[in-house]
Amino acid sequence: MQPNSTLFDGNRPTADALFSPLVLNKTPVRNRFFLPAMQRGSRGYKPTVGMAKTLRNTADNGPGVIITEGAAPEHPASYWQPAFSILGKETADEWGHVVREVLDTGDVVLLMQLWHPGALRLVVDGIENPYPDHPAWSPSGLIQEGRPNGVAMTTQDLQDTKNAYVDSAVIAKGLGAHGIELHCAHGYLLDLFLWHETNLRSDEYGGGTLVERASFPAEIISAIRAATGPDFIISVRFSQWKEVDYGARIAQHPDDLGPFLTRLEQAGANVFHISARRFDAPGWPLLDPRRSVASWVKTMTDLPVMTIGSVGLSTDLASDVFDDKEPVLQVEDDVVRVRQGLDAGDFDMIGVGRAQISNPDFVDRVRRGDYENLRDFKKYRDLAEAYESYSHEGQLVDQSRKGD
**Can you give the binding site for ligand FMN, defined by CB under 6 A?**
36-40, 69-70, 113, 115, 183, 185, 237, 275, 308-311, 313, 316-317, 321, 352-355, 383, 386
Sign of CA dihedral 54, 86, 271, 297: positive
Q: Is 292 helix (H, G, I), strand (E, B) or coil?
A: coil
Specify whether the CB–CB gap between 107 and 24 falls below 8 A.
no
Q: What pairing do the DSSP bridges indicate for beta strands 65-73 and 86-87?
A: parallel
Surface-to-core class of residue 339, CB atoms within 10 Å of its CB (0-12 exposed, 13-18 middle, 19+ buried):
middle
Query: What contacts 385, CB < 8 A, 6 or more positions away?
Result: 40, 50
Taking the least distance from each CB to ligand FMN, the nearer of 140 and 239 is: 239
Taking the least distance from each CB to ligand FMN, the nearer of 158 and 306 is: 306
Taking the least distance from each CB to ligand FMN, the nearer of 261 and 276 is: 276
Taking the least distance from each CB to ligand FMN, the nearer of 167 and 191 is: 191
The one-letter code for the residue type at 15 is A
Specify whether the CB–CB gap between 293 and 253 falls below 8 A.
no
**Residue 315 CB, nearest approach to ligand FMN (Å):** 9
> How many helical (H) and strand (E) elements, i.e. helices and strands, does the chain have?
14, 17
**Residue 353 CB, nearest approach to ligand FMN (Å):** 3
The residue whose Cβ lies closest to ligand FMN is 353
DSSP annotation string for 3-69: TT-SS--TTS--S-GGG--EEETTEEESSSEEEPP---SEETTEE-HHHHHHHHHHHHT--SEEEEE
**Residue 71 CB, nearest approach to ligand FMN (Å):** 8
**Residue 378 CB, nearest approach to ligand FMN (Å):** 12
Taking the least distance from each CB to ligand FMN, the nearer of 182 and 257 is: 182
Distance separating alpha carbons of residues 135 and 29, to the nearest angstrom: 41
**Residue 155 CB, nearest approach to ligand FMN (Å):** 27
**Residue 349 CB, nearest approach to ligand FMN (Å):** 13
Taking the least distance from each CB to ligand FMN, the nearer of 66 and 355 is: 355
**Residue 35 CB, nearest approach to ligand FMN (Å):** 9
**Residue 204 CB, nearest approach to ligand FMN (Å):** 27
Residues in the chain: 404
Taking the least distance from each CB to ligand FMN, the nearer of 198 and 201 is: 198
**Residue 18 CB, nearest approach to ligand FMN (Å):** 15
Taking the least distance from each CB to ligand FMN, the nearer of 198 and 356 is: 356
CA atoms within 13 A on the CB side of 150: 31
CA atoms within 13 A on the CB side of 260: 28
Taking the least distance from each CB to ligand FMN, the nearer of 105 and 235 is: 235
Specify whether the CB–CB gap between 358 and 380 falls below 8 A.
no
Taking the least distance from each CB to ligand FMN, the nearer of 204 and 333 is: 333
The one-letter code for the residue type at 370 is D
Distance separating alpha carbons of residues 52 and 61, to the nearest angstrom: 14
**Residue 44 CB, nearest approach to ligand FMN (Å):** 17
Distance separating alpha carbons of residues 345 and 138, to the nearest angstrom: 36
DSSP annotation string for 116-156: --GGG----TTS--S-TTSPPEESSSEEETTEE-SEEPPHH
**Residue 316 CB, nearest approach to ligand FMN (Å):** 6
Taking the least distance from each CB to ligand FMN, the nearer of 294 and 311 is: 311
Specify whether the CB–CB gap between 184 and 190 falls below 8 A.
yes
